[in-house]
Structure 1
Amino acid sequence: MVNFKEDEQLKTLNHSCAHVMAQAIKHLYPQAKFWVGPVVAEGFYYDIDLGDDVIRDEDIEKITKEMKKVVKSGKKIIRREVSKEEALEMFADDPYKLDLIADLEDGNITVYDQGDFTDLCRGPHVDNVKLCKHFKLIRHSGAYWKGDSKNKMLQRIYGVCFPTAEELEAHLQLLEEAKERDHRKIGKDMNLFMVDDLVGRGLPMFLPKGYTIWQELENYIKEKERKLGYLHVMTPCVGTVNLYKTSGHWDHYKENMFPPMEMEGESFVLRPMNCPHHMMIYANRRHSYKNLPIRIGEIAHDFRYESSGTLKGIERGRHFCQNDAHLFVTPEQIKDEFTKVVELIFNTYKDFGITNYRCVLSLRDPENKEKYHDDDEMWNTAEDALRDVMNSIGIEYTEEIGEAAFYGPKLDVNVQPAIGNEITLSTCQLDFCLPAKFNLSYIDSNGEKQTPVVLHRAILGSLDRFMAYILEETKGNLPTWLAPVQARVMPVKTDDEGLNAYAQEIVDALEAADVRVELDDRAEKLGYRMREGQVEKVPYLLVVGFNEKDDRTVSFRLHGEKETTVLPLDTFVEKIKAEIKEKSREHIHVN
């Protein structure tokens, strides 16, 4: 997906088109007052105060027609410099522009004229409005002035503009594809999760089918971890403020945390991460070098106060569950343990068919040290150690300044979704800082006390975000082992006792084999029930007719396929059991 802010030509064109839209709106709504109309990654928008008028879906077409008239007029876009006094007089009836002008210095204020419309702007712009003819208004919403909920709600209209009709059409097709892949739409169609403002924005609730997927992901990664010697724990969702002051999170992460709760003279917060709890578990007993490495894992509930504008279904919420672990190691064990973490990441990606990813070594920004634990020697040691390990095991990576955790450098594994921008799924962080802050120790081979090194790692990242990513990559067409309903049995005639009895027999046989199966014997036409099963992405739709009953067979259609296959009942049960056990991806159809 194109990023309009990163392409200078598109940035200039879209900024100009925002002015064209403002001019058209001024023609249609003479009372309109304008705040800002910037270019953003997905195109442009303008925030508008229309007084008592409200933009509705049908008004977008009206604005589009007026924009086409403006474009057809072929007016030149002319830049002018004016004094602050002139600007204040020019926009005297627009409080939003006056607010902008108040912060500008005299002598360098620019406005742009295009026919009967003048706007305050730094530019640059294209030379003529006719260059903005290949545009599309995408959506509209409300937006508080200056992003402050205490201010007036303005109306925001989004759009895109391209140099050619072909580029615009290609982009619109991508947007349609993005809609089909949006995990929020898929989640609604498949009845997986919900959000409700009465519960709270950014606090998704998993419905039975969605929680089934969540549990399968949890079981999958825990099984892999157990085989590698991880010990799973459960820790509270809250901690004292003093806990986070000890770890350093209070100084470096407080703005992303929910506010403290005062009880009986103590301050508690909802935890944003699990490191401090796991440090305390390690500190609970003495350790010898012979005990290390110790690998503590948890599927942990965390809470972060994300701004409402960034919330997106289960991909980004205020509550999420991390596939977290902390590995307590000696310095000599860093390479082996880091290598095992990387192997686990890549093996997991192989299981899920994830191939489009890149590795990033995220480092501290030495020019902005306020964000990080203040210890140059520690940072140099940690960054050199992580770089050496990654080089020695042959990982290809790029380095990015300023992306480290506040306590240490990290490996981020970023995936490129089919639609949208790159996201980080997995991470492994090297930490010399927190073990020292919590006075953690072990006794070495010489009987002397030493401080362990900690590897913070998350393979699936947050289960919520990983689930959203998989839903969007597969369009909800999950492999059979992960699908919330793996098979649905539908008698052709729901009023025939013989067919219903055989359908129930099939259901019983599949349930005995631990297959998640449903019986759909509603008094609806078979075609309707089949279509519903397709929308809900059920991998196996089984149709039970008289031939199947007489022959003791099953007729099934795989999701995304038109052909019907007939197998003896026992053969089918063994087939689907094997597919689930092997976690096969053979029958995923992303249509």
Structure 2
Amino acid sequence: MSEIKIALLAADAREERTVTTGTKAWELFTEQPDTVAARVAGDLKDLAYVLADGDEVEPVAIDSPDGRDILRHSTAHVLAQAVQQLWPEAKLGIGPPVENGFYYDFDVETPFVPEDLDKLETAMRKIIKENQRFERRVTTDAAALDELQDEPYKVELIGLKGGAGAEDAAEGASVEVGAGELTIYDNVRRNGEVAWSDLCRGPHLPTTKRIPAFKLMRTAAAYWRGDEKNKQLQRIYGTAWESKEALAEHLHRIEEAERRDHRKLGRDLDLFSFPDELGSGLAVFHPKGGVIKREMEDYVRRRHIEEGFQYVGTPHISKDGLFHTSGHLPYYADTMYPPMKMEGAEYRLKAMNCPMHNLIFQSRGRSYRELPLRFFEFGGVYRFEKSGVVHGLTRVRGMTQDDSHSYVTKEQAPDEVKHLLGFVLSLLQDFGLDDYYLELSTRDDRNKDKFIGSDDDWATATAVLEEVASETGLELVPDPGGAAFYGPKISVQARDAIGRTWQMSTIQYDFSQPKGFGLEYQAADGSRQEPVMIHSAKFGSIERFIGVLVEHYAGAFPPWLAPVQVQLIPIAERHHDYLAEVADQMRALGLRVEVDDSDDRMQKKIRNAQLQKVPFMVIAGDDDMAEHAVSFRYRDGHQENGVGVDEAIQRVLNVVATKGQV
């Protein structure tokens, strides 16, 4: 055997090694039991990969993002093997890893039921216990077609390989569509018998026994390759984790997410609803939800004015030529409502506010002395989201955006982006979202046809955003290909109380629309110059922001946002008038209060206020009336008796004024 040289990479270290030919990747990691795959020259490989001279090899741990994807994809194979053991007639679709789990699609005569998941988990545990090896095998198209002739969906994928339809073969498809090499993975028992096979690009775990913890979650119907013209298959969703503890934590997060579901809390707290009569994705806010929405609007309107913005207003409908001028229509036509033909023209509901703000800028001559010129509005916009993605308030078809646009010189752009980012972060902190990182969405240079503008424009805009984002010291995550067609953007990714990440505010650098609209200002030297346009949405969609807040707080809003800040509870009917006077004092100071004058017993009234998540309760009986006092009760159940009325009111005012939580 001859020797070859490889480089072992770990964190920031690099170790040169000499190994013999035929050495496999797993031999480098015998003392790293959590390593489940290797990254070689940037590509993920099975641990059975035979090293070549000059390879740079990096271990992939099971608890890393790539490691979890490999674990989950391997578990999807075990699921598919179990399905075909129990339902031999089942035909295989695809089985990719997805966020926090995996799925696999099957063509079966009878839809799966919940009891089937229990049977499948039992069968999967047996396969895992058998310690079957995942063995990679390179094949040809002809050989694969012959071997998989009874699997029509796999045959279709092989036919798409490298063809015109390769790019959309299937979202997350496990076959390496368009690659020069076609591979099959065999699940091999200890005696060398092939138990099951699947067309797949890999990589996989070394053996099934390396699957520490999994659970099947639910079933659903799904069209083959996501196309409603195709046959509807049965999809089984599951999750897999690197330890039983990690699985338990994930299941707990799911339970907590269900408890916090804003759609359920919206009903329970009487905040908002989604009447069928209006249509999918269109919400109405009830009085209590309207309080939250109004408080948010008042807050952000005041903040924008403090930050130098001028409030404007624009209509909900426009001739569609406006959206051609802005450049949006060719890119967003699928998510805009279809045109309405009137008076010889086509009109559309607006899906964005920026084209109309450009018309305001364009309405008269502008001087460099006016810049930065900042416009802001609560703009109602409408987007025809597919019914399958509409979800409560977090994905709607009709929404209100706190949309702002800054018109600046190129030299002013960095300071304006810095100004906007500071504004955004302070706003999120006021709403209790103080755990976040930044994402920089840039152009995908491999698909330049999806973006407009010159290379120089993109380089300048990207550099400005990247420099400002980096100066914050926050984690900055790249998002190649995620930019808008007209320029790059920074988005703030906030984590809620249970660790989920939500894209919140965005700041976008736009060098395109000013050119399309012919926007100009007169520079100091008298020349006509083109401004840079910077888009910024603080809430983004107010509806979505409210949905996120409901789940973040589990409906227990901080007092300044709570629909009812104080619930006054008379112990008996004779105490009603006393607390009514206290309520009038509070209302005169701007507090939102209710008096529970129902016939319920006091404990039931307290329980009702707790269920409605009211921050403060003020209770009064005979002794309180005699001493001009109350019992002051907090949302967490803590209670202080004999608190003077003036002091009780001041306590509430102090917490509201400081935007504190209780």
2:198 pairs, out of 111, 120, 138, with 120
1:584 aligns to what? Answer: 659
Does residue 1:325 correspond to 2:404, yes or no? yes
Partners of 2:461 and 2:536 in 1: CA distance: 15
Q: Secondary structure at the match of 2:609?
A: helix
Does residue 1:430 correspond to 2:506, yes or no? no
Q: Secondary structure at the match of 2:639?
A: coil
Structure 1's 207 and 36: CA in aligned 2 closer, same or farther, altered over 3 A?
A: farther
Partners of 2:266 and 2:520 in 1: CA distance: 46
5 Å-filtered alignment, 1:334-353, equals 334-353=413-432
Partners of 2:616 and 2:222 in 1: CA distance: 45
5 Å-filtered alignment, 1:121-136, equals 121-122=199-200, 123-132=202-211, 134-136=213-215
5 Å-filtered alignment, 1:2-13, equals 7-13=65-71
Give the stretch that moved more between structures: 298-307 or 37-46: 298-307
TM-score, length-scaled by structure 2: 0.78
Partners of 2:389 and 2:104 in 1: CA distance: 19
2:374 aligns to what? Answer: 295
Confirm or deny: 8 A CA contact 1:442 1:452 kept in the other structure. Answer: yes
Tell me how far 1:46 sits from its aligned partner: 1.8
Alpha-carbon deviations, 1:15-55, whole Å to 9, x = none?
23223333333444454333222211121112233323441
Structure 1's 413 and 85: CA in aligned 2 closer, same or farther, altered over 3 A?
A: closer
Structure 1's 211 and 150: CA in aligned 2 closer, same or farther, altered over 3 A?
A: farther
Does residue 1:450 correspond to 2:529, yes or no? yes
2:97 aligns to what? Answer: 39
Confirm or deny: 8 A CA contact 1:68 1:133 kept in the other structure. Answer: no
Does residue 1:242 correspond to 2:306, yes or no? no
Structure 1's 388 and 585: CA in aligned 2 closer, same or farther, altered over 3 A?
A: same
1:21 aligns to what? Answer: 79
Question: Which consecutive residues of structure 1, in runs of 5 or more, have no partner in the other structure?
Answer: none
1:463 aligns to what? Answer: 542
Identical-pair percentage:
37
Structure 1's 189 and 247: CA in aligned 2 closer, same or farther, altered over 3 A?
A: same
Q: Secondary structure at the match of 1:368?
A: helix
Structure 1's 534 and 282: CA in aligned 2 closer, same or farther, altered over 3 A?
A: same
1:516 aligns to what? Answer: 592
Partners of 2:613 and 2:402 in 1: CA distance: 26
1:192 aligns to what? Answer: 271
Does residue 1:60 correspond to 2:136, yes or no? no
Partners of 1:579 and 1:311 in 2: CA distance: 36
Alpha-carbon deviations, 1:188-226, whole Å to 9, x = none?
432323335553333333332222211111110101112
2:109 aligns to what? Answer: 51
Does residue 1:574 correspond to 2:631, yes or no? no
1:108 pairs, out of 172, 182, 185, with 182
Alpha-carbon deviations, 1:354-386, whole Å to 9, x = none?
332234454434443222223334334444555
Does residue 1:477 correspond to 2:556, yes or no? yes
Confirm or deny: 8 A CA contact 1:295 1:325 kept in the other structure. Answer: yes
Partners of 2:463 and 2:239 in 1: CA distance: 45
Confirm or deny: 8 A CA contact 2:101 2:237 kept in the other structure. Answer: yes
Q: Secondary structure at the match of 1:269?
A: strand
Higher relative contact order (CA 8 A, sep 6+): 1
Structure 1's 277 and 165: CA in aligned 2 closer, same or farther, altered over 3 A?
A: same
Q: Secondary structure at the match of 1:408?
A: coil
Confirm or deny: 8 A CA contact 2:497 2:553 kept in the other structure. Answer: no
2:384 aligns to what? Answer: 305
Confirm or deny: 8 A CA contact 2:566 2:594 kept in the other structure. Answer: yes
5 Å-filtered alignment, 1:142-221, equals 142-195=221-274, 199-221=278-300
Confirm or deny: 8 A CA contact 1:71 1:133 kept in the other structure. Answer: no
Does residue 1:530 correspond to 2:587, yes or no? no
Confirm or deny: 8 A CA contact 2:442 2:481 kept in the other structure. Answer: yes
Confirm or deny: 8 A CA contact 1:362 1:411 kept in the other structure. Answer: yes
Aligned residues: 579
Alpha-carbon deviations, 1:297-351, whole Å to 9, x = none?
1011122333444433222323222111112234454455444323322332342
Confirm or deny: 8 A CA contact 2:559 2:661 kept in the other structure. Answer: no
Q: C-alpha root-mean-square deviation of aligned residues, in Å?
A: 3.3
Partners of 2:476 and 2:124 in 1: CA distance: 44
Confirm or deny: 8 A CA contact 2:453 2:512 kept in the other structure. Answer: no
Structure 1's 555 and 447: CA in aligned 2 closer, same or farther, altered over 3 A?
A: same
Question: Which consecutive residues of structure 2, in runs of 5 or more, have no partner in the other structure?
Answer: 1-60, 163-179
1:270 aligns to what? Answer: 349
Partners of 1:74 and 1:397 in 2: CA distance: 40
1:500 aligns to what? Answer: 576
Give the stretch that moved more between structures: 242-251 or 64-73: 64-73
Partners of 1:335 and 1:83 in 2: CA distance: 54
Q: Secondary structure at the match of 2:338?
A: coil
Q: Secondary structure at the match of 1:47?
A: strand
Confirm or deny: 8 A CA contact 1:435 1:452 kept in the other structure. Answer: yes
Structure 1's 169 and 79: CA in aligned 2 closer, same or farther, altered over 3 A?
A: same
Q: In the alignment, residue 132 of structure 1 is paired with which amino acid? A: I
Alpha-carbon deviations, 1:538-560, whole Å to 9, x = none?
11123333333443322232112
Confirm or deny: 8 A CA contact 2:616 2:635 kept in the other structure. Answer: yes
Q: In the alignment, residue 143 of structure 1 is paired with which amino acid? A: A
Confirm or deny: 8 A CA contact 1:361 1:397 kept in the other structure. Answer: no
Partners of 1:310 and 1:47 in 2: CA distance: 19
Alpha-carbon deviations, 1:518-545, whole Å to 9, x = none?
2334444444443333232211123333
TM-score, length-scaled by structure 1: 0.86
Partners of 1:438 and 1:551 in 2: CA distance: 70
Give the stretch that moved more between structures: 361-370 or 272-281: 361-370
